[in-house]
């Protein structure tokens, strides 16, 4: 962790990205369900975007614009029934498993691989409440790291200054062979900072849960685009704050582990 040590300079922070997700094609895919008009290449029956043709049972190509939510047949809501998600995951994992397609055509085998791979990504993302929000915002092109991410949240500014000073002292003491008592005192300071930041992280997680619930309620009540965007901007801001605080927690943990 690369902490900047002087008081006026903010930390340099590594962006917390779901790199694999953000690079995925699905992030930029439109969220409309053009899928529902798809028909089966084998029997021409309408598939409704299902994994398998409801008429002949053949595995179907991934419709354009398939996102993680629609893959699981879920609305784009942030409250997810984890038990149900897990059941669907296991059931689909079994149905889509490439072993079942050993005697199928190359095309079908490839489709099973494509769907299995998407299944795993979708499950990993949707089961995690933070990744879920990141993903939803990414779909809408509303996930913006921005410059604010590099700045300490105002309510933590003083603690961040103090942390930088403690880290500075600790490193100096370490380099110059500080006394055991001095080192113990510095460690205690860092541990206190760690608890403080962990509490902040828990608070920001609760805040994210509250805004997520607001999002779901807005979706249920058919909120207009302005209201939706506003909620997404709020979620984006909370995510940035969360990412900053998480980096602080990890940084202090790492520093304590090394001292
Ligand atoms: Zn069919």
Distance from residue 253's CA to the centre of ligand 1 (Å): 55
Beta bridge partners of 191: none
- For residues 165 and 173, is the Cβ–Cβ distance under 8 A? no
Distance from residue 152's CA to the centre of ligand 1 (Å): 56
Q: What is the pLDDT of residue 13?
A: 33
Distance from residue 53's CA to the centre of ligand 1 (Å): 5
Domains within the chain, CATH numbers bracketed: 19-139 (1.10.287.110), 148-258 (no CATH)
- For residues 244 and 153, is the Cβ–Cβ distance under 8 A? yes
Residues of the chain with pLDDT under 50: 1-35
Q: What is the pLDDT of residue 179?
A: 87
Q: What is the pLDDT of residue 70?
A: 93
pTM for the structure as a whole: 0.80
Distance from residue 52's CA to the centre of ligand 1 (Å): 8
Distance from residue 55's CA to the centre of ligand 1 (Å): 5
Q: Collapse the DSSP code of 74 into the 3-class scheme (helix H, G, I; strand E, B; otherwise coil) and give the result.
A: coil
Q: What is the pLDDT of residue 243?
A: 92
Q: What is the pLDDT of residue 149?
A: 53
Distance from residue 75's CA to the centre of ligand 1 (Å): 25
Q: What is the dihedral of CA 166, 169, 173, 178, to 10 degrees?
A: -70
Q: For residue 23, with 0-12 CB atoms within 10 Å meaning exposed, 13-18 middle and 19 or more buried, which class applies?
A: exposed
**Using the 8-state DSSP alphabet, how is residue 55 labeled?**
T
């Amino acid at each position: 962790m690369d902490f900047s040590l002087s008081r006026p300079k903010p930390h340099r922070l590594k962006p917390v990205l779901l790199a694999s997700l953000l690079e995925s094609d699905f992030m930029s895919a439109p969220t409309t369900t053009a899928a529902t008009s798809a028909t089966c290449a084998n029997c021409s029956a309408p598939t409704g975007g299902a994994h398998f043709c409801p008429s002949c049972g053949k595995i179907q190509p991934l419709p354009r614009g398939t996102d993680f939510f629609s893959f699981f047949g879920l609305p784009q809501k942030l409250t997810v029934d984890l038990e149900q998600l897990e059941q669907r995951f296991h059931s689909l994992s079994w149905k889509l498993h490439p072993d079942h397609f050993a005697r199928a055509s190359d095309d079908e085998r490839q489709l099973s691989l494509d769907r299995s791979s998407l299944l795993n990504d979708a499950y990993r993302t949707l089961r995690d409440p933070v990744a879920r929000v990141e993903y939803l915002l990414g779909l809408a092109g509303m996930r913006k790291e921005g410059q604010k991410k590099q700045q300490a949240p105002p309510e933590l500014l003083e603690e961040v200054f103090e942390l930088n000073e403690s880290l500075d002292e600790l490193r100096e003491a370490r380099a110059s062979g500080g006394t055991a008592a001095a080192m113990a005192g510095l460690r205690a300071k860092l541990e206190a900072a760690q608890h403080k930041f962990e509490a902040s992280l828990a608070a920001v997680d609760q805040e994210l849960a509250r805004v997520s619930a607001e999002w779901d309620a807005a979706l249920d009540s058919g909120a207009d685009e302005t209201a939706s965007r506003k909620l997404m901007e709020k979620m984006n801001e909370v995510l940035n704050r969360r990412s900053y605080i998480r980096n602080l927690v990890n940084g202090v943990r790492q520093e304590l582990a090394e001292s």
